[in-house]
Amino acid sequence: MGSRTAIPLHRDRQRVLVEHLDPRENNVNQHKGMVTHLLLGTGVRNDTCGHTHADWFTYRDGELYLQIPAEDYCRKDTRNEVCVNCDPTDEKPFYPKTPAAGGRMIHIGNEYYDYSTGERRYFGLRDRVESYFSISPPGEPAVGGFDMIQANASNGVSHKTVNTWVREVCTSAGLSKQVRETRLKTDLEPDK
């Protein structure tokens, strides 16, 4: 089984993006913000992000978690009953790309450790998720929200749209595509 390698954002660029995504500030479109924040805070793959459903979130001991199912129905709004990445011949056509991802629990918190300042800071992912998907701890009322991330007023988002939205949010945060591209080339091809 292969493993995934990722080049993280530079700590200063991460801080800028987190500050831009602050749900208390409403700096970004709610759908684009949800996608970018969820990817940044959980590390899930684009396709998994596009399939994320409110049912995947659960509370344990007062903390919010995202539990990615090993398999699930494709709930995206499409003409063919499933999206282009799901297999229409399967009873439950959506499954994470790797078996290890199925069923894992990812903490959805409101704080992160900012390596650029050396302190814990407000992240706001839990606040955004609870508001967007209208979920709340047991015994607390939830107010209307979405079942899935919305694109064109439909449930679910394609991986291409996810890519586009993340780039747009980064651009609006002032993060230069060229600087990131140069860093990736340096980290991935240090001899060139």
CA 27 to centroid of chain Cα atoms: 17
pLDDT at 86: 79
Q: Distance between CA atoms of 66 and 52, rounded to whole angstroms?
A: 9
- Long-range pairs of 78-84 with CB within 8 A, sequence gap ≥ 24: 78/156, 83/50, 83/51, 83/156, 83/158, 84/158
More confident: 6 or 127: 127
Write out pLDDT tens, residues 33-73: 999 999 999 988 888 899 999 999 999 999 999 998 888 88
Q: What is the pLDDT of residues 73-132, one digit of tens each?
A: 888 887 556 677 777 777 777 777 666 666 678 999 999 998 888 999 999 999 999 999
Amino acid at 129: V
Global pTM value: 0.84
* pLDDT at 174 (0 to 100): 86
Q: How far is CA 119 from the centre of its chain?
A: 23
Secondary structure of the chain in the HEC alphabet? Answer: CCCCCCCCCCHHHHHHHHHHHCCCCCCCCHHHHHHHHHHHHHCCCHHHHHHCEHHHEEEECCEEEEECCCCECCCCCCCCCCCCCCCCCCCCCECCCCHHHCCCEEEECCEEEECCCCEEEECCHHHHHHHHHCCCCCCCCCCCCCCECEECCEECCCHHHHHHHHHHHHHHCCCCHHHHHHHHHHHHCCCC
Query: Looking at residue 187, what is its pLDDT?
Result: 61
Question: Residues with Cβ < 8 Å from 2, sequence gap 6 or more?
Answer: none
The predicted pLDDT at position 2 comes to 47
66: which 2 tokens?
A: 């995202």
Beta-carbon contacts of residue 140 (< 8 Å; ≥ 6 apart) = none
Pairing label, strands 63-67, 57-60? antiparallel
